[in-house]
Amino acid sequence: MSTTTTSMFTHPVVRVAFDPAAQGKMAVSQVDALIKGQVLEKQIDYLDPVLLDLENLSQARD
In a domain, 20, yes or no: no
In a domain, 35, yes or no: yes
In a domain, 50, yes or no: yes
In a domain, 2, yes or no: no
In a domain, 33, yes or no: yes
Residue-range definition of the domain harbouring residue 53: 27-62
Q: Mean pLDDT, to the nearest integer, of 6-16?
A: 50
In a domain, 40, yes or no: yes
In the chain, the number of structural domains is 1
Taking all residues of the chain, what is their mean pLDDT, rounded to a whole number?
62
With a cut of 70, say whether residue 32 has pLDDT above it. Answer: yes
Question: What whole-number distance in Å separates Cα of residue 35 and Cα of residue 16?
Answer: 12
With a cut of 60, say whether residue 5 has pLDDT above it. Answer: no
In a domain, 13, yes or no: no
Question: What whole-number distance in Å separates Cα of residue 62 and Cα of residue 60?
Answer: 6
Instruction: Tell me the three state secondary structure of residue 40.
Output: helix
User: What integer pLDDT is reported at residue 1 of this predicted model?
Assistant: 47
Number of separate helices (H) and strands (E) present in the chain:
2, 0
